[in-house]
Amino acid sequence: MAEDLNPFRIAQEELDSAAEAMGLDKTAHAILREPKRTVVVNIPVKMRDGSVKVFNGFRVLYNDARGPGKGGIRYHPLENLDTVKALSAWMTWKTSLANIPFGGAKGGVICNPKEMNSYELENLSRGYVRALWNSIGPKIDVPAPDVYTNPQIMAWMMDEYNAIAGHGEPAFITGKPVEIGGSEGRFDSTAMGGMYVLRESAKKIKLDLKGSDVVIQGFGNAGMFAFEIANKLAGAKVVGISDSEGGIYDQDGIDYNKLLAAKKSTGKVQGYDKGEKVSNEELLELDADVIIPAAIENQITAANADKIKAKIVLELANGPVTPEADRILFERGVLDVPDFLVNSGGVIVSYFEWAQDREGYFWTEEEVYKRLDAIVTRSFNDVMATQEKYTESGKKITPRTAAYIVAVGRVAAAMKLRGWY
């Protein structure tokens, strides 16, 4: 039978397995299988040629038992409600695992931003806020950038919300430019958080990161910063890197600045003139200590999980390892660290931005990194402690299941205290 790839079904199935492993209360489970609120809007937008186009948009608040919703807004031609629902569920588990005072949410608009000019994008972004201002806000549900949305779009949205509220309310949205209430350290927050998790993972398996070999799949926002930080902070040697066109491998280590220059001038990683060319499949199977998938989903599957030679798989991308591959890696003794732990740095620094905006007092970049480190290290330890506790009681679980148990357990406890069940 073909695998059901509907993301919302997958999100529900993941919850179901965690619920079974932890013996979750049936009513709590039923509440957590569906979003609390789904709002669908139609937004009329004045276009440059004088016409008006109507765009379909969504905002899903999955759960707010632990605090206001938190999650990005995506602009994509293939956006659909089931994807937004799934992503809002995953945000609920991510904020809970980080133990920050938020629930989970997500939003989206069906549109093609590549075919829209800045005038039209501004009108759409302001229209999204006018259509939804009643259901979002600093104490209700706090949006952020996501696929094809950026700090400029957040700035327009904040301006529109402030005009409706009649006063300044920067904590309404995160991912803003620093000039209007954004936080220091946000750009590389995802990769930075991931590298702190890598440090803890290496400690856990007694791997010395200094001089160890690292392979990174993807050279976009996440992969690029991960490369730089792995080199500079951890002293690790990046020996393999790729983009959608393919990868390169150099046992002596790849030079970051030369690679950046090659990517800029040729448009691809394989423009780097040293080492050997490898395909994306070969890249993942290279002889390295650490593999960091930082590109797209479903890269390590049942078909290649037994060929992975690394000791640590650090999931910086969302969903790069399928559930079956997760089990295979676990049985083979590979430490596969789950995405919603590894890439939680972005939402954690979003939380810092919200907190700084509400206080009107801003932190240095150094302060931001220090607090980020403390939170992801705590999350990593929570996951490992839960895995050990289950192992001691005779139940072998993967780090991903342990992360789910921590996250779902906290949301269920909050709902219970509030009297929802």
Residues that bind ligand NAD (CB under 6 A): 190, 217-223, 242-244, 280, 294-296, 316-318, 343, 346
Q: How far is the CB of 337 from ligand NAD (least distance, A)?
A: 14
Residue 127 or 145: the one with the smaller Cβ distance to ligand NAD is 145
Whichever of 27 and 244 has its CB closer to ligand NAD, that residue is 244
CB of 313 to ligand NAD, least distance (A): 14
List b or e across 267-300, with b for residues whose CB sees 16 or more CB atoms inside 10 angstroms.
ebbbebeebeebebebbbbbebbbbbbbbeeebb
Write a three-state SS string for 267-309.
CCHHHCCCCEEECHHHHHCCCCCEEEECCCCCCECCCCHHHCC
* Choice between 201 and 350, CB closer to ligand NAD: 350
362 CB-near residues (< 8 Å, 6+ apart)? 183, 184, 356
Nearer to ligand NAD, 160 or 339 (CB): 339
Nearest approach in angstroms of CB 240 to ligand NAD is: 11
SS3 state at 200:
helix
User: Per the residue annotation, which of 36, 70, 85, 106 is the catalytic one?
Assistant: 106
CB of 133 vs ligand NAD, minimal distance in Å: 26
DSSP 6-32: -HHHHHHHHHHHHHHHHT--HHHHHHH
Q: Which residue has the tokens 């009649």?
A: 166
Whether 106 is catalytic: yes
Buried b (16+ CB within 10 A) or exposed e, 182-198: bbbbbbbbbbbbbbbbb
Contact between 278 and 240 under an 8 Å Cβ cutoff? The reply is yes
Token pair 């500079």: residue:
232
Q: How far is the CB of 306 from ligand NAD (least distance, A)?
A: 20
Q: How far apart, in Å, are the Cα atoms of 376 and each of 105, 176, 190, 245?
A: 21, 23, 11, 32
**Shortest distance, CB of residue 49 to ligand NAD, whole angstroms?**
30
- Nearest residue to ligand NAD on Cβ basis: 220
> Which residue, 60 or 317, has its beta carbon nearer to ligand NAD?
317
Do 104 and 91 meet the contact criterion of CB atoms below 8 Å apart?
yes
Residues 6+ apart with CB under 8 A from 344: 94, 97, 98, 193, 376, 379
Nearer to ligand NAD, 103 or 194 (CB): 194
59: helix, strand or coil:
strand
Overall size of the chain counted in residues:
421
43 vs 342, which CB is nearer to ligand NAD?
342
First to last CA, the chain: 37
CA 241 to each of CA 226, 234, 266: distance values in angstroms, whole numbers, following the listed order: 11, 17, 15
CB of 278 vs ligand NAD, minimal distance in Å? 11
Provide the β-strand partners of residue 335: 312
Show which residues are catalytic. 106
